[in-house]
Amino acid sequence: MSVHIIFPIEAAVLGDLTSISSILFLPHAVRVLATWLLGPKVLFALIPAEVIAHSIWGLDFSYPRSVLIPIFSACSALVGFESLKLLGYNIYPYANRLPNWRGVIIAGIIASFFNSITGALLKGEQIETDQLFQVIVRFLIGDITGLISSMLILILIFRMINKLSLRAG
């Protein structure tokens, strides 16, 4: 969806930086939710998925540091969750505990900061020096808006399912 709908609209409105960063990046929500559910073992799936996705999005792997971009992207959500865990907030799901959605969003925001800074720095060879801050900000905005919009959509879907199951039962 992002490649065929969101990216072309952004490129038309905001210019050529869309090929480097997006202001509505829905895959960040996938990284965050997958990491929340699976923990560190998610990297076995996320790293290959990120390599494939970055290849589709046209990442130029001829730059030496570009090879690290999908790896850092895949690790970003884990950095967010593990940072909270180090601070005493383990928000991974457990059997007898309700999901901590605020914690998931906070971990996603931490992940976005990590992803934004590392992504922009690793793409430094492809970015003009005066555009670096703009790219970092767009990464942040894209990841966070992608996460929050996905979470809102999921909440609405789960509420509709809940209402439908109450009517049927």
152-163 pLDDT, tens per residue? 998 899 889 988
The per-residue pLDDT for 167 is: 80
The per-residue pLDDT for 7 is: 60
Structure tokens at 65: 């540091």
How far is it, in rounded angstroms, from Cα 75 to Cα 111? 8
Percentage of the chain beyond pLDDT 70 is 85
How far is it, in rounded angstroms, from Cα 163 to Cα 7? 34
The per-residue pLDDT for 134 is: 84
The per-residue pLDDT for 96 is: 85
For residues 98-114, average pLDDT:
93
Structure tokens at 4: 């065929």
User: What's this model's pTM, rounded to 2 decimal places?
Assistant: 0.82
The per-residue pLDDT for 144 is: 94
94: pLDDT strictly greater than 70 = yes
